[in-house]
Amino acid sequence: MEQKFIPKSLAASKESGKVTWQTPSNIALVKYWGKKNPQLPENTSISFTLSNCHTTTTLTYGKRKDVKGTYDFKVILDGKEQEDFKPKIETFFKRIERYVPFLREYTFIIDTKNSFPHSSGIASSASGMSAIALCLMSIEKEININLTEEAFYQKASFLARLGSGSACRSVKGDIVVWGEHENIEGSSDLYGIPYKDGVASVFKNYQDTILLIDKGEKQVSSTVGHNLMHGHPFAEQRFLQAQENINKIKDIFANSDVDQFIALVESEALTLHAMMMTSNPYFILMKPNTLEVINQVWAYRKKTGSKLCFTLDAGANVHLLYPENEKETVQEFIKNKLAIYCKDKSFIHDCVGNGAKQLTI
């Protein structure tokens, strides 16, 4: 299957150029946690694509005079050259070179910036890797003009996945599925696909406010985290549960069942953390303020009948999800009652978006 991503014509023709993509972050509703080599998920996951949290990357490329040794690139973040990002990108390049054979033929400048603050605890790997993947695909498109739009995005997602698993869900679509599932047509372990089954209007413009509880470096890297699922006593059961939860969320989306959405999404978040608490070695990634927020959300829901709920990444920050018609009241509640649990009272309002955009700068 991977074979189809190896291009037929290998020679790069363009001397030089520049391309810019803006790619979003995403938040998983059914979580990906556990993988096989090379970056293949143990279970299907599904996410909302975000809108305001995004990365903008300009890739400048020029033919190398003398192609010797390894890749030739530099990385610039917010105007400053970043040596420490290079090893991750080098690993990414090694993994994708089979599919992007012109990688060694160019000198690249990867100039990138995030719309959210650096080290805010918001993972930039999903948007960052999908941005590089899309820029490379734009170069491929120059060489292979017959590439269809569908093939372009599919391969971009395939490449992004090899950079960071969840990045394959940051390419196209408002709701994205990654990982083969018997009830989702076209789903694949190799790339994410836009979710095409019925989705009630309430979920089309869902809101996500990200509470920045802890802005530090991640306590456990995703790589270490995913590896903890190997030999984990509850792993098999968890992977089955995720497959079942995909069936459930399909019905929830189709039937506009917001109460069941809340139950499923919160359970997924806590299960992800439960997996980490029961692995060897074990970790607690929530902070006291994460729990304070969760309790406040539950109390608010009980008191007001609101449909506000939470989800978590592999860290202490909280994503608050709510329907658009509650935007005003929930945002008031966040400002007045939840901001105190955030580092420097900081949070980011976001909502479901449509995926990556090519920019002309």
Residues that bind ligand PMV (CB under 6 A): 28, 31-33, 45, 123, 125, 164-166, 222, 272, 313-314
Smaller CB separation from ligand PMV, 16 or 223:
223
CB of residue 28 to ligand PMV, shortest distance in Å = 3
Nearest residue to 170 (alpha-carbon basis) of 355, 21, 357, 358 = 355
CB of residue 45 to ligand PMV, shortest distance in Å = 4
Nearest residue to 48 (alpha-carbon basis) of 199, 188, 184 = 199
> In this structure, what token pair is assigned to residue 187?
């789903």
Please enumerate in sequence order all residues whose Cβ is within 8 A of that of 237, keeping only pairs 6 or more positions apart, or say none: none
Query: How many CA atoms, within 13 angstroms, populate the side-chain half-sphere of residue 193?
Result: 16
Q: Find the helix or strand (DSSP H, E) in which 236 lies.
A: helix 235-255
Are the CB atoms for 338 and 211 separated by under 8 Å?
A: yes
Smaller CB separation from ligand PMV, 151 or 220:
220
CB of residue 125 to ligand PMV, shortest distance in Å = 5
Rg (CA), the chain: 20
CB of residue 296 to ligand PMV, shortest distance in Å = 23
CB of residue 7 to ligand PMV, shortest distance in Å = 25
Smaller CB separation from ligand PMV, 58 or 290:
290
> In this structure, what token pair is assigned to residue 71?
């890749």
Smaller CB separation from ligand PMV, 165 or 173:
165
Smaller CB separation from ligand PMV, 276 or 334:
276
CB of residue 168 to ligand PMV, shortest distance in Å = 9
The angle at the Cα of 169, spanning 163 to 174, to the nearest 5 degrees, equals 155
Smaller CB separation from ligand PMV, 35 or 215:
35
DSSP 87-110: HHHHHHHHHHTTT-TTGGGEEEEE
Residue 248 identity: K
Are the CB atoms for 111 and 60 separated by under 8 Å?
A: yes
